[in-house]
Every structure is written in C-alpha cells, then in structure tokens.
Amino acid sequence: MKLKQRMVLLCAVLLLLGLAKIFLLDGGEGSAASRRDLKAFRKMEAGLALARGARLTNTLQSPWEIASQWVGPREVYPEETPELAAVLASLASARVERADVGYKGTQLKALLVLDGGQKVVFKPKRYSRDYVVEGEPYAGYDRHNAEVAAFHLDRVLGFRRAPLVVGRHINLRTEIKPVATEQLLSTFLMQGNNTCFYGKCYYCRESEPACAEGETMEGSLTLWLPDVWPLQKHRHPWGRTYREGKLARWEYDESYCEAVKKMPPYDAGPRLLDVIDTAVFDYLIGNADRHHYESFQDDGGASMLILLDNAKSFGNAALDERSILAPLYQCCMLRVSTWNRLNLLRGGALSSAMRQALAFDPIQPVLTEPHLAALDRRLSGVLATVKQCMEAQGPDNTLIEDRMNLPHP
C-alpha cells in the first residue's frame, strides 16, 4: 500500500475512534465510564422523590448527627441517602431554640438554632415566585426559593457539594421573637398587619425589611456544616469587579485559563475541574454572583468547592448570562462524569427531574414553569459549548477523567 493511502487510512481510523468516543460519552452506554455514570444516574432517579413527613426509624441518632456523618472531603452527602427525607422534614419542623442576626454577608438572613443545638441559616422570602429581577445578572435581593432549588439541582447533577436546604413557614411571633436576641429583636417592626425585620448585614436597611404575611414568614433553612469541617474562603478566579467600566482580566483575556492553571490550587488536583463544574451549575441557575467560594481548611487543594450561597439565582428566566460559563469555554475542559450526566438530562429530563425533586418541599411550587424551561434551554447551551471545544481540540483534550474519591476520616 502506498504511503499516501496508508496516511489516508490512518486518518480515517483516528477520526472513527474520535467519533466513537464522542458517541460513547454522548449519552451512550458502550464505555465503562458511561455504564458507571448511567448506574449512578439511575440511583439518583430512584431516590429523587422524597416522602413528606418522613421520620427516622431504627436509630438512636438525631437527624443532625446523621447529616454530620455524611460529610466528607468530596461530598456533603453520599450517593445513597435513605434518611434524606427524614432529615429535611426535621429541618422543616424542629423547634427553634434561639434566633439571632445572620453571620457576615451583604444580604439579610437570620441564624437559628434548632432543637438539639443544630445551627441553620434562615433566608426570608423577598419576592413572589413570578417576580422578574431586572438589571445586572447579580442584581436584587437573595431569593430563598433559589437556595431550595439549587440544593435539589446539586442532587440531580450528582455533585453532592451543596449543604442541605429546605423551605419552611415560620411564625415570627410564636417561634422567633420569644427566643430572639436583643440585637435581632431591635430590627423587628410592623408594616400594616405584617410583622417584618431587617436584621444586620452590609445592605440591611430599616427602610427595606422582609415582611411576613401577617405573622407567618416563608423562607429557606440551610443546614450548617459540622464544626469539625472548618471552611476556608477563596477568591474566585473568574470573579467580577462589580465596578462600572472596570473589567476583570478574564473578561478581556481569552487565554486567561492558561494563567490560572499555573496558580495553586488550580495547577494540580481537582479544584480547577470543580470550578468548571460550578460554572455549569451557576449557568443553569443563573447565578452570576460567585465572587468567592469555600472549601474545607488545610485540604492541600483536595477538598471540593462547596456550593454555598446560591440565592442570587433564578431571578430572570429569560436571561442566559453566557459569561458565567467563562471557566468552561476558556479552559475547554470538563469532567467525563459531568458530561455524561448532562447528556442523560437532555430533552426535558432535567426539568422533569427537578419537578419531581421539588414536589416534596413545604414551600412548593418552588420554581415557576419559565424557570424550569430555562434549565432545559441553558443545558442545551452548555452541551453546545462542550461540543465546540471537542471540535476545536478533540474529545481527549476536552473530556477529563477525574474520579477522585477520598475516604472519610
């Protein structure tokens, strides 16, 4: 066979191998990675629906002890959690022992202690479900329902990096004020027949309180991570400047990712792939406000990027803020497992899974139909972006095998 013919044949074989990899990773079941990820997907589907009013049985442990034992370096809760419904039900109903102003931050929240000493963060309702937040993609108050929806999206995507969240209705007069600190009580006021409070935070103002409907306030409760897992805060490498007319480097330098790859902890370990997973997550929920992020302390870069503070999400269903995906389209890399999961959620499967997951929550409907439709639309945008990377540099350079599983201590 002539050299030219051999070269043509070799190129054809390489092309077929490349197409085969794309096919196997594009929702197919032929590769070991795909079979493994499909099995995990089926487990997620089976555990998606949660029973209301579930209770723990056959255990002397509290729901807080069980949830605490779930936490590890690479997950907040494990793949299989038969007790999840009972833990969330406890979050939604446990007696409030103490109420105080929220911890540091720019947005209104309250720090509550539930029966048994469990700390939780309460974020109050500020908008109706169909309210559209106009302006910058990070504009507006925190959305409590976004915290609930983001937690369940974390479940659906199989990341398992978001703290547990549930919606709850709380009577401010009977459940909060009798156990509130003086600092929190001093921020309570009445507007007509509605009880309100404005708390203490950077943007908290007496003129902009959160108000209950009468005495009952809707909000979200986020389970505080165990104290044995102290957090470390990091500046997000793709953070915004929040200054008009001043761009961050990533906003004008398309080769910015190459610089990030040379900086610890992004030069080794799973952190950069976590950042890219988070970009996908944030794009789906419309969160353009992740200027910092947390990991566990003294982890040497091995800890997961924890998906905390997701409330600046689901503000405008019509806005697909592509800049959120900058880590993905500038680095042009993504975990194989993430790619496989996203493909399994195509064709409306993502919104369908979210409807099923959110139906359990006490404040359902958590999301309106336009927001659920936006999840499917944005997913298509993520898949198209990855395919553009594969066309430009090949699937082997785009899809990264990274299944780092660290044992619990």
Q: Tell me the binding residues for ATP.
A: 107, 123, 222-225, 294, 309
CA-to-CA dists, residue 120 to 65, 70, 116, 217, 295, angstroms: 14, 17, 12, 16, 19
The alpha carbon of 394 is separated from its chain's Cα centroid by a whole number of angstroms, namely: 29
CA-to-CA dists, residue 380 to 16, 29, 367, angstroms: 25, 20, 19
Query: What distance in Å separates the CA atoms of residue 386 and residue 226, rounded to the nearest whole number?
Result: 36
Token output for 292: 């910092």
> In b/e form, how buried is each residue of 129-141, taking b as 16+ CB within 10 angstroms?
eeeebeeebbebb
Please classify residue 289 by burial: count the beta carbons closer than 10 Å to its beta carbon, then call 0-12 exposed, 13-18 middle and 19+ buried. buried
Q: Which residue has the tokens 């102290």?
A: 230
Catalytic residue, chosen from 37, 154, 289, 376, is 289
Query: What distance in Å separates the CA atoms of residue 395 and residue 335, rounded to the nearest whole number?
Result: 11
Q: Where are the beta strands (DSSP E) in 23-136?
A: 96-101, 110-114, 118-124
- Measured CA angle at 399 (ends 398, 403), to 5 deg: 140
Q: Which residue has the tokens 């990027």?
A: 305
Residue 298 designated active-site: no
Please classify residue 360 by burial: count the beta carbons closer than 10 Å to its beta carbon, then call 0-12 exposed, 13-18 middle and 19+ buried. buried
Active site residues: 289
